[in-house]
Amino acid sequence: MLFNSFEFLIFLPAVFLLYWFVFKPLKWQNLFVVAASYLFYGWWDWRFLILIAITTFCSYASGLLIQEYAGRRTRRRIVCATNILLNLIILGIFKYLNFFGENFALLLDALGFKCDWVTLDILLPVGISFYTFQALSYTIDVYRGNIQPTRNIVAFFAFISFFPQLVAGPIERATNLLPQFLVPRKFDYAKAVDGMRQILWGLFKKMVVADNCAVAVNMIFDQYQSLDGFTLFIGGLLFTFQIYGDFSGYSDIAIGTARLFGINLMRNFNYPYFSRNIAEFWRRWHISLTTWFRDYVYFPLGGSRRGKWKTIRNTFIIFLVSGMWHGANWTFICWGAYNALLFMPLLIVGRNRRYTDVVAQGRLLPSFKELLQIVVTFLLVVIGWIIFRAENINDAFNYITLMVTDFTPHLPEHGKSALLYIAILMIVEWLHRDRQFGLQISDGGGLLARRTVRWTIYVILALFTLLCAGTQEEFIYFQF
C-alpha cells in the first residue's frame, strides 16, 4: 500500500480511530498494530507476509535463547550467528542470488569454462533490506547486552512490522522503538498536529517534487546518447532532487504518521544538500542506515582505533557494503566506491568530523566560503547519483563523459516545472534548516510563526499536492 494512494487515504484514518477509540488496552492496541501492519504490507503480495513472519519469529526466539544461555559464551555466539546467518541467507536468495550467479558464470566463461546459468524468476519482497536490518540489530543488541530480550511476542511483532516505517525506514533500533510498545501510550494533540505537518511536507516532497522530477529524469536517462551535455546535467540535477524528495519524503510521512499513534521514530535526513563536505553529507543522509553500518560493521572491524590504514580499509568496506545493500548491480558498488574515494582525503587529513553544526547558524545567508563548499559538495553528489541511477557501468561512464564534454548552458527544455518546485523546497528547508523538518514550528518564530502565513503555506502546499495526485509513483527505495 503506497502512502500516496487512495487506499492509504482510507486506511490511515480508519486505523487511527480504531487504535485510539476501540483498542484502548495496551495488549489489544499492539495486536491491532500488528494486524494493521500485516494488512498494509500484504497489500502488495500476501506471500511477503511469510518471510517477515519468519524473520520476526526467529529474531524473537534468538533473543530469548541468548538470555537463556547467559554465562555460556559459545552457545550465545552460536545462537546469535545462526540468526544473523539465517536472515542474511533469506536476504541473499531474494536479492542477490541472480546477481552473483550471473557474474560467476561470466567469470568462468572468461577463464574458458562454459557455464549455463539459469536466472530464477524471484520476486523481491518490498523493503526486505529494511526490516531484515532492523531484526538483525535486535539480535546483536541483545547479544551485546545493550537491551534485555522481550518475552512480549506481540510487542516484538509490532516492533518489526510497524507499518509507517516497515518498507523504507527509518531502520529503527530496538533500544528506541521496542520499549515504546511495552508501555501505555496516550494521545498527544500537539504531537499529532506536528505529525500532520510533517506528513504534508513529506507528501509535497514526494508527489510534487520527486514525481515531477521523475518524468524528465526518465526521459533524459532513456535517451541520453542523443542529448547535449547541459541537458544531461539537468537530468542529473533532477534525479538528485528526485531521490531526495522521494526518500526523505517517505521518511517524513513515516515519522509524522508514527507520531499520530504516539510513537517517536528516529530522524533519517538532516538537510543533506546543505553539507559543506562529503563527510557531513553522509552524517545527514539516510542517518538510520549510516549509523547502522557504523555501529554493527565499522566499530566491530576496529573503527578508527587501529591506525590510519585500517581506518581507511574499514571506511572502504562500509561504503562498498552500503552500495551493495542498495541493490544487485555494479552501479551501486561503483557508487559506494566513488563516495569512499571522496571521503578518503578528509579522513587522511583528519577533517572528516568537522561541520557538525548548522550551516550559517544565526545568519540568513552563508558566507562565500560556506556557499562554495556547499556547491562543490553538491556537484560531487550529483555525479554520484548519476552513477547510482544509470542502468550499468558503461551507461554511467558514457553519460558523465557526454555531460562534461558537451556542456553549453542554455534554457532547459526538460523539467521546468520541477525546477520551480525544487526552488520552493530549498527555500523552505534553508529557512528552517535548524529544525527537524521543513514545516516544524518552534519557539524561535520564523516563517511559520504567524497563523495567517502558516495556513496560507499549508493550503498552497496541499493544492500543489492535490494537483500532482494523478499518478501513484512507487517510492524509489521500495526496491531496496
Q: Which residues are catalytic?
A: 326
Contact in structure between 294 and 318 (CB atoms under 8 Å) = yes
- Element spanning 108, H or E: helix 97-110
Contact in structure between 51 and 134 (CB atoms under 8 Å) = no
- Report how far residue 466's alpha carbon sits from residue 6's, in angstroms, rounded to the nearest whole number: 12
- Report how far residue 462's alpha carbon sits from residue 339's, in angstroms, rounded to the nearest whole number: 36
Residue pointed to by grid coordinates 491491532 = 32
Q: Which residues contact 405 (CB under 8 A, 6 or more apart)?
A: 229
- Report how far residue 54's alpha carbon sits from residue 44's, in angstroms, rounded to the nearest whole number: 18
Based on DSSP, count helices (H) and strands (E) in the chain, helices before strands: 19, 0
- Report how far residue 387's alpha carbon sits from residue 401's, in angstroms, rounded to the nearest whole number: 12
Q: How many CA atoms lie within 13 A of 51 on its CB side?
A: 25
Strand partners, 214: none
Nearest residue to 421 via CA among 238, 219, 247: 238
**Eight-class DSSP state of 111:** T
Residue pointed to by grid coordinates 498527544 = 188
Which burial class, exposed, middle or buried, applies to 118 when counting CB atoms under 10 A from its CB (0-12, 13-18, 19+)? exposed
- Report how far residue 3's alpha carbon sits from residue 7's, in angstroms, rounded to the nearest whole number: 8
- Report how far residue 109's alpha carbon sits from residue 214's, in angstroms, rounded to the nearest whole number: 38
Could you give the C-alpha distances from 479 to 47, 124, 168, 176, in angstroms and in order? 17, 8, 9, 26
Contact in structure between 268 and 248 (CB atoms under 8 Å) = yes
Largest Cα separation within the chain, whole Å, is 73
Peptide bond into 170 cis (omega under 30): yes
